[in-house]
Amino acid sequence: MVAQGEADFAVLDVISWKLMQRYDDFTQELTLVDLTSPTPALPFISARYQDTIRIQKALHNAVQNLTLGQREELLLQGLVALSQSFYQAVPNPPQP
């Protein structure tokens, strides 16, 4: 919508922006204004009663079983286990 003049600006996550730059020609008409500090990606969440270590290993193995080309295509290098404190440290934006 920004490229078509229907919106003045957009806020995007960096992965979406990189993928749009890779596949969508309209990004050449756009200007990057600013970047925020990196923050943890969305977490994988499961029920409390699930074996989180087993799930982490399965996710890790799934990523490692991708070819290098597939990982590059997905902009996925690997998975990192972060504690809840990493997410809680991300400040909430100020109230309008």
* Domain definitions of the chain by residue range: 1-36, 41-96
Report how far apart, in Å, the C-alpha atoms of 88 and of each of 12, 60, 83 are. 21, 24, 9
Q: 75 near 18, Cβ under 8 Å?
A: yes
Residue 69 has which token pair? Answer: 């080309």
Neighbours of 56 (CB within 10 A): 14
Spell out the per-residue pLDDT of the chain, length 96, in tens: 999 999 999 999 888 999 999 999 999 989 999 988 888 887 788 888 888 889 989 999 999 999 999 999 999 888 888 888 988 888 888 887
Q: pTM for the whole thing?
A: 0.69
Residue 73 has which token pair? Answer: 């295509």
